[in-house]
Structure 1
Amino acid sequence: MQSTAKFGNFLDFKPEHQPQALELDLPWCHPSDLARFDVIIIGAGPAGLRLAEQVSLYGVKVCCIDPEPLSLWPNNYGVWVYEFENIGLEDCFDRTWPKACVYIDDSKTKLLERCYGRVSRKKLKQKLVEGCVSNGVRFYKAKAFKIEHQEFESSVLCDDGKELKGSLIVDASGFVSTFIEYDKVRNYGFQVAYGILAEVDGHPFDLDQVVLMDWRDSHLENEPYLKVSNSKFPTFLYAMPFDSNLIFLEETCLVSRPALSNSEVEKRMVARLRHLGISVKRILEDERGLIPMGGPLPRIPQNVMATGGNSGVVHPATGYMMARTMVVSCDVAVAIVECLGSTRMIRGKQLYAKVWNTMWPIESRLMREFYSFGMETPLELDLNETKRFFDAFFALEPYYLHKFLSSSLSLEELVWLSMSLIKHASNRSRLDVLIKCPVPFAKMIANIIWEYIR
């Protein structure tokens, strides 16, 4: 039998592949441009570039500010293939799989008959940047330092001392931004993950299936400390097998408050891979993810528009955001163009209200309260209760299951899904939620009422 040390030594490996910046000629912001733009977007992540590309399609003058606008994004993204096909991004995958599976325990597996893909960060960024360049977007290489507002115009002061002015400032700089204001305490849950793209001696997974969730805990039978902590704050394995010797493996805590420590997640991953007989030979890429989930929406409206991670678009119950961000950016772009691309030039408070309420109409805000309850539920459940919950959840009709995961259900469909989930749940699982989740349920109802009357 191979030693524990051999199976755990991959934690000391250094990733061999470092992301390379794109080699493109960008149209930089010139001194003559510094007078004024229609839209200034802070951040060249997926959300910022997608919005810049969509808004500039209509001739709106856009500038994108980022310290390294051509650098590749550090995180991996997975989406259901149809979500990207519906918005013309089907050529932005590294690899797709015809099916996905969920391991509830050692004797029960759920199969999802829908194609899943790993987003190619390079292909997607190149496509978005090229679209921006073609549409006339200007880029400015700096970090936004301060934003100031007047009645119909705002200005961004950069860390190099330059000032750019525009009718609308959009913050797409991520969770750590300080430019977006909130009315409520940001009581986030946190998704924590440690992932590696690894060359391995072999693995037991089907090459035609993504492992969406593996909740099995038999790998912890000889790890009493890890077994106890995993029972209270469970983690699952997410796996993308590229071939028999290349696989992306990620140990993930779906949600915790406070965030589960990175070291705890890594130890559980070592134990799991040892149990599965997966010996890591090389690490090509690694990532340590920390995603704030749930919490309140930003104050709606406000002078700075948010998009991406700091806009509340992250799915509170799953942590997914990529596909929804791509879709919402199109809607927000249309709203911006209706204001700034018109002869009336609607600016100031009317503009801010228009774009914020396009991103978060009342129905979407109400649905997000339901999704947030979906996040609070696993926070209250231990591992066995979590398994029972997902056993019922993945028994739902595929149409509703996939629309829930992609944040595309209507209110009526959400009601149906709730009733169906109660129907599919075991008596024990219904009791778990009834006993442990009355407070989150009451908060959800209170927040829904607040959204209606405010």
Structure 2
Amino acid sequence: MDRPYDVAVIGAGPAGLALAGALCARGARVAVVDPAPDRPWHQTFCAFADELPDVPAEVTWSRVAIELPGRRVVRDRPYVQVDTAALQGRLRRESAGASRVVGAVIGHGPGEVRTDAGTIQARHTVDCTGARQILGTNGPSATAFQTAWGVEIETHGHPWSPDEAVWMDLRDLAPVPSFLYVLPRTTTRVFVEETVLAARPAVPIPPLRHRLEARLEALGVRVVRTIREESVRIPLDLPDPSGLAFGAAAGMIHPATGYSLARSLALAGPFADALLRDHPEEAMATLRSATRGLHRLGLDVLTRCDGDELTAFFGAFFDQPAWATDAFLSSRPALWSTVAAMSRLFATSRVRHLLLRPVLRPAPVESACPPL
């Protein structure tokens, strides 16, 4: 029998390849299992540049803007769109020492993974399959989702500056609150996305598509050519995995932003170190955030808000100093700074009732949304 692998990584997405690369760099014998490991990634990954300092950027904006009724907030914090192809290429090179098993997992047990291409032996198996969590969970399915519909378009001209990303345009919100997210590429080319940051249950895509079309028409943006389309559905409150997991499968999605890439890239090394010491509990402990409860509270607040309440909440949120908003939105937040940020927000009387509502009146799993 062949010598068992040290680790079987299930899934060849960003989290899986980042972990495989970290393990290979430490001399581990690794197998990456995926039914299509060479499939190109088409997701749009964005983050503040300081959260992804070593990741290739396709586009960089020097600042971000938040549009609120009657005013705008500008933060001079560079924001990047990741060069997805370059990132995939880099992670493939870093994980080139791993064996590739082209197959789908059909079962697993102690020390082994069964695929439709055969069975492999491994001391540890790590689920890196994202929201699918194919190796099992210890709780009910996700109930809160971020959904979005976006298009990259060529136009005769648009109203946005190519040097500024519009992180949220919170004007003219509908009863189920969605906002406009804008990434200008040139003076005529732009990516626009209609986004529901968090909702229980998920807001479906068709209404978002219609809202985006209506918004572009109202802004006088005439589409010459559609370059690409993107549909987004991110579960924000995934259950805990039943075994070893990493990335979104381990619940590493920020429940108030939907971001997970920066945290996965940053924690691949510490997770690998603990795993190769044969301390799986320690490996999972590296992923636990002391701020998770506060972020889940933020998620519950967002899922309760109608359009006016969401505008009031983010108006108060972005009235806070930059360090406070950055602390809450960070992929690796410190507990003290997140507590301080939430305390400052709680002191804002006009949104205090929104923060108290999830505590005083817990929502049923399928809370009602206003009609679309």
Counterpart amino acid of residue 311 in structure 2: K
Change (3 A) 1:36 1:432: closer
Task: Give 1:331-342 correspondences, 5 Å limit.
Answer: 331-337=270-276, 339=277
CA pair 117-197 structure 1, distance change in 2 beyond 3 A = same
Give 1:428's match in structure 2, choosing from 307, 325, 350: 350
Matching of residue 235 in structure 1 with residue 175 in structure 2: no
Q: Is the 8 A contact 2:147 2:205 kept in 1?
A: yes
Whole-Å Cα distance in 1 between the matches of residues 325 and 200 of structure 2? 26
Q: 1:38-77 CA distances to partner (integer Å, 9 max, x unpaired)? A: 0110111000000000111010111111122122113111
Structure-1 residue corresponding to 2:368: none
Q: Does 1:137 align with 2:98?
A: yes
Return the offset for 1:436. Answer: 6.4
Alignment deviations for residues 92-135 of structure 1 (CA, whole Å, 9 cap, x no partner): 11110000011122x111111100000111000000101111xx
Q: How does 1:288-437 map to 2 (within 5 A)?
A: 288-299=231-242, 302=243, 305-337=244-276, 339=277, 346=278, 351-360=279-288, 364=289, 366-423=290-347, 425=348, 427-435=349-357
Give CA-to-partner distance per residue, 1:132-173, whole Å, 9 cap, x none: 11xx21112111221111xxxx1111113x111100101111
- Report whether the alignment pairs 1:41 with 2:12: no
2:370 is aligned to: none
Identity percentage of aligned residues: 29
Query: How far apart in 1 are the matches of 2:153 and 2:63?
Result: 21
Residue 204 to residue 59, structure 1, CA distance change in 2 (3 Å): same
Deviation at 1:289, TM superposition (A): 0.8
SS in 2 for 1:359: coil
Is 1:373–1:440's contact at 8 Å kept on the other side of the alignment? no
Q: Are the counterparts in 2 of residues 381 and 436 from structure 1 also a CA contact under 8 Å? A: no
Distance 1:281 1:142 in 2: 42
Do residues 192 (structure 1) and 147 (structure 2) align?
yes
Native 8 Å contact 1:200 1:281 kept in 2: yes
> Which structure is larger by alpha-carbon Rg, 1 or 2?
1
- Would the alpha carbon gap of residues 435 and 140 (structure 1) be closer, same or farther in structure 2, given more than 3 Å must change? closer
SS in 2 for 1:175: helix
Q: Aligned residue for 1:266?
A: 209
Maintained 8 Å contact 1:73/1:121: yes
Bigger fraction of residues in helix: 1
Which amino acid is 1:198 matched to? I
Name the amino acid aligned to 2:340: W
Task: Name the counterpart of 2:192.
Answer: 249
CA distance in 2, matches of 1:282, 1:210: 21
| Offset from partner CA, 1:73-97 (integer Å, 9 cap, x none) | 1311101111111xx32xx111100
Who is 2:60 aligned against? Answer: 96
**Is residue 118 from structure 1 mapped to residue 91 from structure 2 by the alignment?**
no
**Aligned equivalents of 2:236 and 2:268: distance in 1?**
20
Residue 155 (str. 1) matches residue 98 (str. 2)? no
Aligned partners of 1:324 and 1:406 also within 8 Å: no
Indicate the SS of the match to 1:179.
Answer: coil
Per the alignment, do residues 273 and 437 of structure 1 end up closer, same or farther by CA in structure 2, a change over 3 Å counting? farther
| TM-superposed deviation, 1:275 | 0.7
TM-score scaled by structure 2? 0.93
- In 1, Cα distance between equivalents of 2:323 and 2:333: 10
**Structure 2 residue aligned with 1:66:** 34
Distance 1:375 1:100 in 2: 22
Which of residues 128, 143, 159 in structure 2 aligns to 1:172?
A: 128
Q: 2:71 maps to what in 1? A: 108
In structure 2, the partner of 1:6 is none
**TM-score normalised to structure 1 length:** 0.77
Conserved in 1, the CA contact under 8 Å of 2:150 and 2:194? yes
**Structure 1 contact 400–409 (Cα < 8 Å) conserved:** no
Residue correspondence of structure 1 range 45-60 to structure 2 within 5 A: 45-60=13-28
Q: Please, which runs of 5 or more residues in structure 2 have no aligned partner?
A: 364-372
Amino acid in structure 2 at the alignment position of 1:422: F
CA shift in 2, pair 1:385/1:37, >3 Å: same
For 1:212, the equivalent position in structure 2 comes to 167
- Provide the rounded CA distance (Å) in 2 between the counterparts of 1:96 and 1:121: 14
Q: What do residues 330-355 of structure 1 show as CA deviations (whole Å, max 9, x unaligned)?
A: 22012123x1xxxxxx4xxxx32121
Aligned-residue offset at 1:437 = 5.3
Letter aligned with residue 114 of structure 2? L
Task: Give the aligned CA root-mean-square deviation in angstroms.
Answer: 1.9
